Structure formats: C-alpha cells, structure tokens
C-alpha cells in the first residue's frame, strides 16, 4: 500500500486526543492547553492549565508563567475580565518572586492587553511604553512582549510593513532571552505576515525556524500547512503533499478540527491533481470525519466534495451512497434549495454511470425544481439540458426537445448567467434541425448572435459549426458548405486549428455527397495541407479524397490517397 494511503487510513482510524488522559507533567499540560485553545476548546484549555499549575514546582517558573498566559488569554476570549485580571495578578506575583521585576512592573502597568489583540485606542499607550522601556534599556524579552503586541495590532490594521519589522525584532528578543514558547508564537505571526506581504521565501524561513524549536503540535501543524500551500506551485507537488499530510496528522492528533479539515482538503486536492484518486478520496473522508467530530458547519459541503471526488474516481456506487445520505441530511435540516439541487445533480450523475436512467431523471428533475425554487434559473436551464441530452441518447427525441425548450425558457429568466441562454438555444436548435424543423436555424442564429455579442469567439465558431450541420440535416447542402467554411474561419480566429480542420472536412464531405467531387477534392487537400493535422483527421480526409478521386476516374491518385490513409491509421 502506498505510504500516503497508509497514513490517511491511520488518521481515519485514530480517535484523536483522549480527554480523560492525564498529562504527564506541567509541560505536557501546557502543550495540551495551547492545543485545546487552538481547537477553541476553552473549557479544556482552562482545565489543563489549572492542572499544570497544580503539578508545578518552584523550578517550573517558565512553564507556570506560560500557563497563566493561557488562562489570561482564554478568559479574555470568554469576556471574563475579572478572571483575566486575577490570573494576571498571580502571574505578576510569580514574576516578582522569580526576580523579574521589570517584566512584572510592565505587565502590572499595561494589564491584560499584552495577552490579546490591542485595539487602535490602545496603540498609543503601548508605543509610549515601548519608548520608555527602550530608553531604560529594559531586558530584550520584555521589549519583545510589547513589540509583539504592537505588531499584531498593526497587522490587524493592514500596516504590515511596520508589523513585520516589529515582529522581526520580537523574534530576536525572545531568542536572546531564551523564551522558547514566546519565540514560537512570534515566529507563527511573522510567517503569516510575510505570507500576507507576498514574501514566500521569508515565510518559509520563519516556518522552518519555528519547526526547528520545541513547539506544540497545533503551532507546528500551522507551519506545515503554510509550507504545503507555498510548495503547491506545480513543480513541488510531492513536497506539498508531504507537508499537508504532516499538518493533517498533527492537527487530527491534537483535536484542532478546523485545521485538520483545511489540511485534509489540501491533501485531497493535491492528490487529485497528481492523479491519485484513491488517496484523494481518503483525504476527503478524513475532512468529513474531522468535520463530524468537531461539529463543523461545513460538514455537508465537504460531503458533497467527497461525493464528487468519488465520481471522479469512478466509484459510482460509493458516490451514490455518500450523496444519497447527504441528500437525506439536507432534507432533514431544510438546507437551501441550491445545496440540495447540486447534490441531486451529482447523485444523478452517479446513477447515470451505473446505468440507472430512471433514477437519474428523477434526481435531475427534482434538481430543476430546487434550482427554480432558489431563483437560480441559469442552473435550472443546465439541469434541463442534462435531462434533454440523456433523453436524446435514449432515443426520446420529442421529449428531449420539450426539455430543451424549457431550458431556453428558464435561461431567459436568468439575469446573472449570460452563458445559460446561448447554451440552451444551441441545444434546442441542434435537436430541432435533426428532427427536420426549420425553426432550429432560428434558434442557432440567436445563439450565434449572443456569443458574438459576449465576445465568446470560440462558442460563436462552435455554434456556427452546428448551424452548418443543421443545414445539412435540413437538406440545404450548398448553404451547409458555406456555413461550415465560415465556422472554420471562426475557429481559426479563435486559435483552434483542429476544430477548423473538422469544419473544412465536413464541408468537403457535403460537396462529395452533393455529387460535386471536383469541388470536394481541393477541399480535402486543403484539410491535409494544414500543419499538425491529427491522425484521425488525416485518415478521414485521405479516405474522402480517395473516394472523390475514384468518382472522377483518377485511379492512381485515389490509390495513393488510400495508402496515405492506411499509413496514417497504422501510425
């Protein structure tokens, strides 16, 4: 089994952190308290921090101070101001007993602002305090605390150049003061600020520096995920997958569900892009599992992504199971119309691939109703086009045309989906022409005009090619030839030489069918003269040319063309 699959299966099998497990020591309590705080488990963070304080001894000063920092920060998140002030007072006392009087005085003066994001009104106070401390030559660690607080406030305001300079100073101050926990937090802020400033090299360097020092799993995971996103350039996808998978393992192990979901989604997308469908499906499963465990709101969206990935992996029965269960959940929770409609469309595709036509049509018809109920008329039109196309393949041509007409009507109601109407007109016009209805050309002409108005040059060419074939279906041979050559010119203008060649080949075949072989011969030769003619096109053009030459009595040339067709087919 490939390593990626094995590691994803291990994530799926793991239960995550055991809340009943007692941490081994105060340091372990601190790490788990940090992780619980990142997981937004505020009660767990407080419980673990208090347990750490109970286990601590006189020699655990740095750990005790960090535990109080967690308690102060969490209390402020929960708007428990009196608790935050109580824990700060305890922290200040511990600082004084440890002989860190300058730091104790600074924290007593500035209060709890050093343990949360400062507001704009608090910035002048912090900046004035920094000036005074610098003038007094305060310890580098104390200066770093104030610089970090100011930097975070500037970053929140979008003044990132100021923030990054302060963060760089804070990092060096914490390093010099040997305050590892504070250094890790500052490096995380620094890495993300570099990322926001579009400086990926510096962001990775900061992340690597953090990963080289002791840090809790949640912090480390955030840096691995940052590296994964930066490594995903199309050239280092193996590295990106490794980084994202490492982040997923760490986030899942410490119960940071939202982080685990983000990492799993990155793994899923990278594996899909690399053609590893099995690993992609497992990663989507991990994302769904983490969402379920964390009761994350995006769970249903992730389930749809999982179903769609299973479709991509051609696991149609499994996709139908996942999407069917998702649809049940959406109905029970009265999900928005558009969400149910998209699930129904994907479920319909799963049924279609499993050759359950009736189930497919039921899903897609219900999707039409849901899209219409949500006012998404463009999507309703596309659903009707899917139904019509399937009916046409099942030889229910009259029913297909009814669906295409309904698609046109729905598309005309859409005010924000310009592509829906020409697509619907194109399908309707083609079907009507095939059924012998002259009005099909009118529909195609409108589709061509809309494509031209929107500047959609390739679609203008494509619809023009369909118009040529529609004219031929309606027995308008000369007009079909003219329309096909016009489509070829439009394709050439849209830089699609292959499609242009197909249109010219169609025109040549029509000329041959009209018993005009003398006109067909130069047309076939024109197709063959184009540079980089595909093998299939070369075979078809040579076969058509040989038939036209035969009918003109030019046997030697016809035989030469047949040999060229055979050579092209063999190669």
Average pLDDT, consecutive stretches of 10 residues, N- to C-terminus, the chain (571 residues): 90 82 90 94 96 95 96 97 97 97 97 93 94 96 96 88 96 95 96 95 97 96 96 75 97 94 93 90 91 80 87 89 92 94 97 96 98 97 97 95 98 94 98 97 98 96 98 97 97 94 96 95 93 89 94 93 90 78
Q: What angle do helix axes 42-55 and 26-38 make, rounded to 10 degrees?
A: 170
Q: Give the span between the Cα atoms of 524 and 542, in whole angstroms.
A: 7
Q: Give the span between the Cα atoms of 425 and 441, in whole angstroms.
A: 10
Question: pTM above the 0.85 mark?
Answer: no
Predicted pLDDT of residue 234 = 57
Predicted pLDDT of residue 315 = 86
Compute CA distances 122 → 75, 146, 190, whole Å. 19, 12, 21
User: Quick one: how many helices (H) and strands (E) in the chain?
Assistant: 29, 0
Q: Give the span between the Cα atoms of 23 and 246, in whole angstroms.
A: 23
Q: Give the span between the Cα atoms of 256 and 299, in whole angstroms.
A: 15
Predicted pLDDT of residue 235 = 54
Predicted pLDDT of residue 570 = 87
Q: Give the span between the Cα atoms of 470 and 443, in whole angstroms.
A: 11
* 278: nearest Cα among 236, 312, 320: 312
Chain centroid, CA 492 distance in Å: 33
Q: What angle do helix axes 517-529 and 535-551 make, rounded to 10 degrees?
A: 160
Compute CA distances 30 → 19, 49, 204, 212, 257, whole Å. 14, 6, 26, 19, 19
CB crowding 345-376: b at 16 or more within 10 Å, else e? bbbbbbbbbeebeebbbebbbbbbebbbebeb
């Amino acid at each position: 089994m490939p390593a990626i699959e094995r590691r994803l299966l291990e994530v799926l099998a793991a239960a995550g952190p055991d809340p009943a497990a007692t941490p081994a020591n105060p340091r372990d309590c601190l790490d788990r308290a940090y992780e619980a705080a990142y997981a937004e488990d505020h009660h767990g963070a407080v419980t673990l921090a208090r347990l750490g304080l109970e286990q601590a001894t006189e020699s655990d000063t740095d750990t005790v101070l960090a535990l109080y920092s967690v308690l102060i920060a969490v209390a402020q998140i929960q708007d428990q101001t009196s608790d935050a002030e109580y824990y700060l007072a305890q922290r200040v006392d511990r600082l004084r007993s440890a002989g860190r009087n300058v730091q104790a005085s600074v924290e007593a003066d500035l209060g709890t602002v050093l343990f949360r994001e400062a507001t704009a009104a608090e910035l002048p106070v912090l900046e004035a305090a920094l000036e005074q401390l610098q003038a007094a030559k305060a310890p580098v660690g104390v200066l770093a605390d104030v610089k970090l607080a100011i930097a975070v406030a500037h970053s929140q305001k979008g003044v990132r150049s100021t923030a990054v300079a302060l963060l760089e100073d804070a990092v060096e101050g914490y390093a010099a003061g040997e305050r590892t926990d504070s250094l890790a937090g500052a490096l995380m802020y620094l890495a993300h600020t570099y990322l926001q400033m579009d400086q990926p090299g510096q962001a990775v360097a900061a992340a690597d520096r953090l990963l080289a020092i002791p840090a809790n799993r949640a912090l480390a995971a955030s840096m691995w995920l940052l590296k994964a996103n930066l490594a995903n350039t199309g050239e280092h996808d193996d590295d990106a997958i490794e980084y994202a998978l490492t982040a997923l393992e760490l986030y899942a192990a410490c119960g940071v569900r939202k982080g685990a979901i983000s990492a799993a989604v990155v793994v899923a997308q990278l594996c899909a892009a690399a053609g590893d469908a099995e690993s992609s499906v497992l990663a989507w499963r991990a994302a769904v599992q983490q969402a379920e465990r964390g009761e994350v709101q995006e769970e249903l969206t992730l389930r749809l992504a999982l179903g769609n990935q299973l479709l991509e992996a051609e696991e149609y029965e499994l996709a139908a199971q996942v999407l069917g269960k998702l649809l049940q959940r959406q109905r029970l929770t009265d999900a928005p119309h558009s969400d149910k409609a998209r699930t129904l469309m994907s479920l319909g595709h799963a049924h279609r691939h499993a050759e359950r036509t009736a189930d497919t049509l039921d899903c897609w018809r219900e999707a039409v109703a849901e899209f219409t109920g949500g006012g998404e008329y463009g999507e309703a039109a596309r659903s009707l086009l899917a139904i019509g196309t399937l009916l046409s393949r099942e030889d229910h041509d009259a029913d297909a045309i009814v669906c295409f007409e309904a698609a046109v009507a729905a598309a005309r109601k859409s005010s924000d989906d310009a592509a829906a109407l020409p697509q619907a007109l194109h399908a309707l016009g083609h079907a009507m022409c095939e059924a012998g209805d002259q009005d099909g050309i009118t529909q195609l002409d409108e589709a061509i005009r809309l494509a031209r108005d929107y500047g959609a040059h390739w679609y203008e060419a494509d619809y023009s090619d369909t118009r040529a074939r529609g004219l031929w279906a309606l027995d308008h041979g000369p007009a079909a030839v003219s329309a096909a050559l016009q489509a070829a010119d439009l394709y050439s203008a849209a830089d699609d030489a292959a499609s242009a060649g197909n249109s010219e080949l169609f025109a040549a075949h029509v000329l041959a069918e009209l018993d005009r072989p003398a006109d067909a011969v130069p047309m076939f030769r024109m197709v063959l003269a184009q540079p980089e003619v595909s093998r299939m096109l070369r075979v078809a053009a040579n076969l058509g040319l040989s038939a036209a030459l035969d009918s003109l009595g030019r046997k030697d040339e016809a035989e030469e063309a047949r040999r060229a067709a055979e050579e092209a087919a063999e190669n």
